[in-house]
Amino acid sequence: MYQEIRSSEFLSRCKKTLVFLSFFLLLLSWFLPISMMNPVPLNPVHSGQLVPLSETPVYLKSEVISANISDIVRERTEYVLQNSENMSINLSIALPFSSGDIYGYQLPANVTLTINGSLGAYIWSTFNYTDSHGYNRTCYAIVFNLTFVAFEEKIIVANYSRVFWASTGLRVYNYITETAGFWNRSIEQAQFNYRLDSWIGSISISGLEGYSSHRERTDLIINKEFYDWSPTENIRITFDLGGSPNNPFSWFIIVILLYALIVITTLYLNIRRRKKTSHKSSIMLFLIRSSFHRIKGPYLFQ
């Protein structure tokens, strides 16, 4: 009975290990894509905690997103912000990026920001928001302050590049459009231009329904324009450069899977060994009892 309880405990530990590892790998895969997001208006007075504004007369009038995507994503984002009232407005702006360079990509270290053609200053900070599914998201963002005079329009341009670790295999590019909802107004015009360099594998695109595309040699060109647009779906481009990924992240997953295999094998062998030991002990106990009864038996009738 005791051995059965111990065997049950081993099986329970094995199941918990598998559940934990599956959840951990799923969590990592959630953060794998390279992601950029639409700008977010912030309260200009903050102390480390970036708080989105619930209401502002400034709105996101238009945007043009252009990117060359391969091992390196070279992206140019242009946003036109418009003050709709006859008054001066101060606010901060966050341009968020998905966080964590251990997940197969790096945060941009070379962001160039211009405001109406002049070089702009910014700081890096963390930004939290609740996405359309109700999940709390944490990401890094560049943050800068702006002052709008009455009815002023400002053009914000950010240039940067981000690196995939692997030179082959699956790639996922995300552009988070849902953060445009913080402006509480539709975008008058939005344009997306993508060039997938040396594209040789399968491709899947969502969030750009009705896009146009054509080939330029081995490159795939994707274009899409929206008008009076309120985003309801983030943009996601999944493509394959051929072969399997060969990067530290994939090796990390392999190590975890090997560890799980070793743990499960060890537990299984322990269970088998304990069952054999229990079986041998039962046989020995039976033989001892039988011998005892054979020796003691004749004396029971004296």
Q: Where are the domains of the chain?
A: 2-24+251-301, 35-244
Strands 187-196 and 58-69: parallel
Contact by Cβ (8 Å): 177, 209: no
pTM value is 0.69
Residues contacting residue 286 through CB under 8 Å, at least 6 positions apart: none
C-alpha 201/C-alpha 196 separation (Å) is: 11
Angle between helices 2-30 and 248-296 (to 10 degrees): 170
CATH number for region 35-244: 2.60.40.3680
- Beta-strand runs (E) in 177-234: 187-196, 203-206, 212-216, 219-229
Locus of tokens 């039962």: 282
Contact by Cβ (8 Å): 139, 127: yes
Contact by Cβ (8 Å): 122, 113: yes
pLDDT tens for the chain, 302 residues: list them: 544 545 556 556 655 555 555 544 444 433 345 678 889 998 776 556 677 888 899 999 999 999 998 878 899 999 999 999 999 999 999 998 875 443 444 678 789 999 999 999 999 888 777 777 787 877 788 999 999 999 999 999 999 988 765 555 677 888 989 889 889 899 999 999 999 876 667 788 999 999 999 988 888 899 999 999 999 899 998 877 665 444 444 555 566 677 777 877 877 777 777 666 665 556 556 555 665 555 555 544 44
Residues contacting residue 101 through CB under 8 Å, at least 6 positions apart: 107
Sheet with 58-69: strands ordered across: 118-119, 112-115, 153-163, 72-83, 58-69, 187-196, 219-229, 212-216
